[in-house]
Amino acid sequence: MQRVQKDSFIRRFLKKKTTTIFLVLAGMCLVLGIANKSFFNYENLASVARATAYTAILSIGELLVILICGIDLSVGSICGLSAVVTAMMLAQFGWALFPAILLGLIAGLVVGVINGALIVTMKLPPFIATMGTTQIINSVALLLTNGKPVLGLGDKFLFIGQGKVLYLPVAVWILIAVAVIASLFLNKTVTGRKLYALGGGEEAARFSGVRTNLLKFVTYVISGFTAAMCGIILCARMGSAQGSTGAGYQMDAIASCVIGGASMAGGEGNVSGTIIGAGIMCVIRNALVMLSVSTYLQSMIIGFIIIAAVMIDQFRRASANRIQKAVIAEATAERNA
């Protein structure tokens, strides 16, 4: 009996979408390690882990937005703004570490509030609203720095992006904390389940008593907060802040979610899959660098990966819909027979 239960558990585990994605990541790491032995060097693995950490933190916020069938294109720009605000408070105004970081996080929250208000109150499409705020935030960040990097951030701050605790980068520990909180929120709270319901169908969710507008608003605020966290970690990693910090990261965040099993149609996705998706994106970038692929080609390859991920998602959903319709048609025919 125990053996049957164990076999059943293994079979269920292997059928999980997250398991498949993890096996893809493991296979990529194995192939890359065989192609270039320096991939498994501790410092290289630590670098990949750091990159995965801040990409995954950003992607978790994006995941919540995608779950409700939305999109947030402003997360990369929020990274830059929060990095600039935090760095300026530390280097130019002499603030203590905690208040400076807190103000950087508040900057992200404010942008999230603006995004939520534009989408919920003004009824703007999420794509248009967040694309507009992206341009505004970019300009604000560049105006604050006059296009120059902010330096002299102090060792305590740099420890967040460059330090290690128990052989793991600090950024990884921050990711673990964010992942645990986000997983508990999505899987163990009523609000988390409502997010999935909202993504599955807004009208149905509204009729079942879900306060859809409030939920949308809160989701964009959380997305702004996680983007701010990512920007601050990036700033600490690079040792400086610029208006362009985080530029293009919104594409990595969206790709990480979709590769990790989230659907652009909403209502489907999880935190563990998103983290694995972020890992795949970072391993691919690391592989391209190690294989000396041109920077210009790297952007092209990442673009193709994003398009392929969305196409696979569309194909998968279309196949699932066909199967569901076939099952319903068969059940209807049997009932009428």
Bridge partners for 241 per DSSP = 150
- Per-residue pLDDT in tens (0 to 9) along the chain, 337 residues: 455 455 554 555 445 677 888 888 888 888 888 888 888 898 999 999 999 999 999 999 999 999 999 999 999 999 999 999 999 999 999 899 999 999 999 999 999 999 999 999 999 999 999 999 999 999 999 999 988 899 989 899 999 999 999 989 999 999 999 999 999 999 999 999 999 999 888 888 888 888 889 999 999 999 999 999 999 999 999 999 988 888 888 988 998 998 888 888 888 889 999 999 999 999 988 888 887 777 778 778 877 877 877 777 677 667 766 776 776 677 667 676 6
Instruction: With respect to residue 246, please indicate whether it lies within any of the assigned structural domains.
Output: yes
Q: How far apart are CA 43 and CA 61, in angstroms?
A: 28
Q: How far apart are CA 127 and CA 69, in angstroms?
A: 11
In the chain, the number of structural domains is: 1
Name every residue whose Cβ is closer than 8 Å to that of residue 207 and which is 6 or more positions away in sequence: none
Q: How far apart are CA 124 and CA 207, in angstroms?
A: 22
Q: Which residues form the domain of 44?
A: 21-318
Convert the pLDDT of each residue in 202-211 to its tens digit: 888 888 888 8
Instruction: With respect to residue 2, please indicate whether it lies within any of the assigned structural domains.
Output: no
Instruction: With respect to residue 12, please indicate whether it lies within any of the assigned structural domains.
Output: no
What CATH number did the domain enclosing 134 receive? 1.10.3470.10
Return the structure tokens found at 209: 């008593």
Instruction: With respect to residue 5, please indicate whether it lies within any of the assigned structural domains.
Output: no
Instruction: With respect to residue 92, please indicate whether it lies within any of the assigned structural domains.
Output: yes
Instruction: With respect to residue 267, please indicate whether it lies within any of the assigned structural domains.
Output: yes
Instruction: With respect to residue 210, please indicate whether it lies within any of the assigned structural domains.
Output: yes
Convert the pLDDT of each residue in 246-290 to its tens digit: 888 898 899 899 888 888 888 888 999 999 999 999 998 888 888
Instruction: With respect to residue 180, please indicate whether it lies within any of the assigned structural domains.
Output: yes
